[in-house]
Structure 1
Amino acid sequence: MHQGGKGNKKSSSSSTSSFMFALFQRIRQTDEKTQQGQDSTHSEVHDHLNPSPRSSSSLTPSPPPPSSMADLPQPDPFPEKSREGDAGAIFVLESKGTWWHAGFHLTTAIVGPTILTLPYAFRGLGWMVGLFCLTTMAVVTFYSYYLMSKVLEHCEKQGRRHIRFRELAADVLGSGGMFYFVIFIQTAINTGVGIGAILLAGECLQIMYTNLSPDGPLKLYEFIAMVTAVMIVLSQLPSFHSLRHINLGSLLLSLGYTSLVVGACINAGLSKNAPKKEYSLDPSKATRTFDAFTSISILAAIFGNGILPEIQATLAPPATGKMVKGLVMCYTVIFFTFYSAAVSGYWAFGNKSTSNILKSLIPDEGPALAPTWVLGLAVACVLFQLFAIGLVYSQVAYEIMEKQSADVSQGMFSKRNLIPRILLRTFYVMFCGFFAAMLPFFGDINGVVGAVGFIPLDFILPMLLYNMTYKPSRSSLIYWINMSIMVVFTGAGIMGTFSSVRKLVLDASKFKLFSSDIVD
């Protein structure tokens, strides 16, 4: 569901690689310093909370053992007081939610129509490797989001509550460059998701239209314009918290269309018109390798989030324990939807799976492979959920706009704040809609966004932030688990970027601006 362009992907990969190398150097230097004077089996946080007992034979209390600078409360570079005039924090990221609201937001951010791309991702992996990679991504992302929630809770307990990913990274890593690096990656992801949501919603309308009127004159870009108009209206909902009921509906819609699509795939696989099932990989070793890394990048994009700190910011403080409950809710939905869609779709269509399994169920030639009412209802559910997804991923852009343009002393709905909000959000949605109509390259873009965007934010930075915050011993298991994940996914991100860009280049001849067909 993510969208982007072709330019500068290699430089993005190089930038990501250089940032990760510098960060690994920094964590190694920090660990060497903090190891001195610290028990090898305990973290600094444990030492701070459990100081060495005083000698009972002393007549006067002996002073506690000296602390390292890391034990002392650190100054907050983004203090709460500085947010008193921050409209992005007060209006858009208002903290009123409960753990189940966080679960709704997380589910909408992760469980979307991109799950209909899972059979397509399996094309480059096969059955065994595909299921292994799917499970690995699920375990690693849950672990990653759990670690990030613990880092956020730790900072909050120390009086440094962070409501933005970029502020958290800059505080913990102590680098102003990380602030802008995270802004760049988040902007690329969120804009890409916004473009992709509008593009897929337009395709859903086109699917319904062509079934009702096969020779109708309307083109894909016209349906995209209709979706954009609806998104402009919905974009005026003022805050992330105000989306909680919409995101509950999104959760139910994801369960609904997944059930319908799984049933349709099983029906298609058993029908007499079913395509021949072929699960073999490409005979060329080089092509197989590139296809595998492209598929891994697509899986990373599907499991990606990239806005967890902003979601946690919507929780009413204290946030301790609430985010973990929200994650459990989210991953319960993920287990049902992701596995059922991947297995049923790949079983039914094998190597003929397209980047949207609905298109496999409605082939260009021959009869539909599922009842029309089932497909129509599934497409309608996908369409409505795409509006929710577009809204969720727009919140970071909106809070940046609001921070710069709004005046908190005037009130959220005052004329002074309402007019700039309407104009800026309308312009942003129109920008996304224009690029969705101009560049309908949905399948190929997923891999690029996953490699360049989601892998750094969701598979590398959370582990690094945890190691820098809690400073586990270099001999501890958690330290090496985190380091291993960072190294493996840094490599996967670099290879995924090259393989995804390669596929873009190979498919370039199929690309047409303002095309009526989305390139698989």
Structure 2
Amino acid sequence: MGSTHDSEESVSEEAVSVKGTWKHAAFHVATTIATPAAYAPLPFALASLGWPLGFWGYWSVAFFQQVASLGNNIAIQIAAGSSLKAIYKNYHENGTLTLQHFVIFFGIFELLLSQLPDIHSLRWVNAVCTFCTIGFAGTTIGVTIYNGKKIDRTSVSYSLQGSSASKTFKAFNALGTIAFSFGDAMLPEIQNTVKEPAKRNMHKSISAAYSVIILTYWQLAFSGYWAFGSEVPSLALQYKTMPFFGDFVSICGAIGFTPLDFVFPALAYLKAGRTVNNSKLSQLMQPLNILIATWFSIVAILGCIGAVRFIVEDIKNYKFFHDM
């Protein structure tokens, strides 16, 4: 009897928790992908590439999951702390609070939010975050266009600068940055909160979220590159305060998000051996997934190489616990 009661209770709890709409899921997807940390380095990444351009399964992704989780949280902590400090300094120019204080404040806020029972409980928080992120993107796009118009356009160069080796490593680094910006390891957890028909609602939420993400991402990337050309900094707004940030984002994208979001899903599809009704499409899917897994494995390796090289070059600018 006890077992039956526990089973009924767990089913009841699951039914209560799975009540999210496609709009709620869209907020979750948009918030977990599009963050200021993801937007800010995109113009530099585009400038670096130029215009033309079961059990064992758990352990196989555990390392990459931890890298993505740790890296993403550190990046967000730095970006949030720097933003809070900038607001503080705007009103208290001679204030004594440092970056470390604001990182701690934001960490406490995150700790409080983590006490909520599930992702669905964050739906309104993520709704606010989504609109704030859109506002951040719009502001940054506006600032870059405004500054771009003030610059003598004849002095702006779009040619790739540096030696052949430098250009190559910049391109490698850019691949990791783009992977970080588009990476999202939360989709299964988000889909678990969506009510039936879950597949249809999840499709609508992803379509809505990625429509916003793609429009704002590429507008920011292109406007930043247009405004500053090959001299665009690695962080669109506060490069001088965070000299290592672009390098850090790139290595997290290369080691964490690329394997999790682009390589393992393709390998899982191949391992599962799933087929579709259309035999021609079925024949196409296998080589396509092999190509995706192979290409993004290469992207992960190259992105890691480029990021490590830039970190080694920028190490002289690092100071532990520095008030940036």
Corresponding residue for residue 316 of structure 1: 195
Q: Which amino acid aligns with 1:124?
A: S
Separation (CA, whole Å) in 2 of partners of 1:84 and 1:192 = 38
Deviation of the 1:116 alpha carbon: 1.9
Matches within 5 A, 1:186-335: 186-271=65-150, 276-335=155-214
Corresponding residue for residue 112 of structure 1: 35
2:75/2:249 contact within 8 Å kept:
no
For residues 486-517 of structure 1, give each alpha carbon's deviation from its aligned partner in whole angstroms, at most 9, with x where no partner exists: 11111111121122112212212211110122
TM norm structure 1? 0.55
Separation (CA, whole Å) in 2 of partners of 1:249 and 1:307 = 18
Deviation of the 1:440 alpha carbon: 8.7
CA 1:514 to 1:273, structure 2 compared with 1: closer, same or farther past 3 Å?
farther
Match 2:267 to one of 431, 445, 464: 464
CA 1:357 to 1:189, structure 2 compared with 1: closer, same or farther past 3 Å?
same
Deviation of the 1:215 alpha carbon: 4.1
Deviation of the 1:111 alpha carbon: 1.4
Matches within 5 A, 1:153-168: none
2:161/2:230 contact within 8 Å kept:
no
Structure of greater Rg: 1
Q: Secondary structure at the match of 1:503?
A: helix
Q: Which amino acid aligns with 1:106?
A: V
**Are positions 1:448 and 2:251 aligned together?**
yes
Corresponding residue for residue 136 of structure 1: none
Q: Which amino acid aligns with 2:110?
A: M
1:104/1:248 contact within 8 Å kept:
yes
1:440/1:515 contact within 8 Å kept:
no
1:275/1:349 contact within 8 Å kept:
no
RMSD over aligned Cα atoms: 2.9
Separation (CA, whole Å) in 2 of partners of 1:295 and 1:357 = 14
Match 1:494 to one of 295, 298, 301: 301
Q: Secondary structure at the match of 1:128?
A: coil
For residues 33-69 of structure 1, give each alpha carbon's deviation from its aligned partner in whole angstroms, at most 9, with x where no partner exists: xxxxxxxxxxxxxxxxxxxxxxxxxxxxxxxxxxxxx
Q: Secondary structure at the match of 2:237?
A: helix
For residues 182-218 of structure 1, give each alpha carbon's deviation from its aligned partner in whole angstroms, at most 9, with x where no partner exists: 2332222122222221211110022223334444433
Q: Secondary structure at the match of 2:238?
A: helix
Corresponding residue for residue 133 of structure 1: none
CA 1:183 to 1:337, structure 2 compared with 1: closer, same or farther past 3 Å?
same
Separation (CA, whole Å) in 1 of partners of 2:101 and 2:307 = 29
Q: Secondary structure at the match of 2:117?
A: coil
Q: Secondary structure at the match of 2:198?
A: coil
CA 1:268 to 1:440, structure 2 compared with 1: closer, same or farther past 3 Å?
closer
Separation (CA, whole Å) in 2 of partners of 1:182 and 1:96 = 29
Separation (CA, whole Å) in 2 of partners of 1:272 and 1:178 = 52
Q: Which amino acid aligns with 1:502?
A: R
Q: Which amino acid aligns with 2:270?
A: N
CA 1:251 to 1:180, structure 2 compared with 1: closer, same or farther past 3 Å?
same
Separation (CA, whole Å) in 1 of partners of 2:59 and 2:283 = 32
Greater helix share, structure number: 2
1:268/1:274 contact within 8 Å kept:
no
**Are positions 1:514 and 2:317 aligned together?**
no
CA 1:94 to 1:328, structure 2 compared with 1: closer, same or farther past 3 Å?
same
CA 1:303 to 1:179, structure 2 compared with 1: closer, same or farther past 3 Å?
same
CA 1:85 to 1:116, structure 2 compared with 1: closer, same or farther past 3 Å?
farther
Q: Which amino acid aligns with 2:31?
A: T
1:306/1:454 contact within 8 Å kept:
yes
Matches within 5 A, 1:341-380: 341-359=220-238
Corresponding residue for residue 96 of structure 1: 19
Identity %: 36
For residues 348-388 of structure 1, give each alpha carbon's deviation from its aligned partner in whole angstroms, at most 9, with x where no partner exists: 1223323331226xx89xxxxxxxxxxxxxxxxxxxxxxxx
Q: Which moved more, 1:445-454 or 1:183-192?
A: 183-192
Corresponding residue for residue 47 of structure 2: 123
Matches within 5 A, 1:19-168: 94-113=17-36, 114-129=38-53
Q: Which amino acid aligns with 2:52?
A: M
Q: Secondary structure at the match of 2:97?
A: coil
Separation (CA, whole Å) in 2 of partners of 1:214 and 1:357 = 23
Separation (CA, whole Å) in 2 of partners of 1:347 and 1:273 = 12
TM norm structure 2? 0.86
Q: Which amino acid aligns with 1:105?
A: H
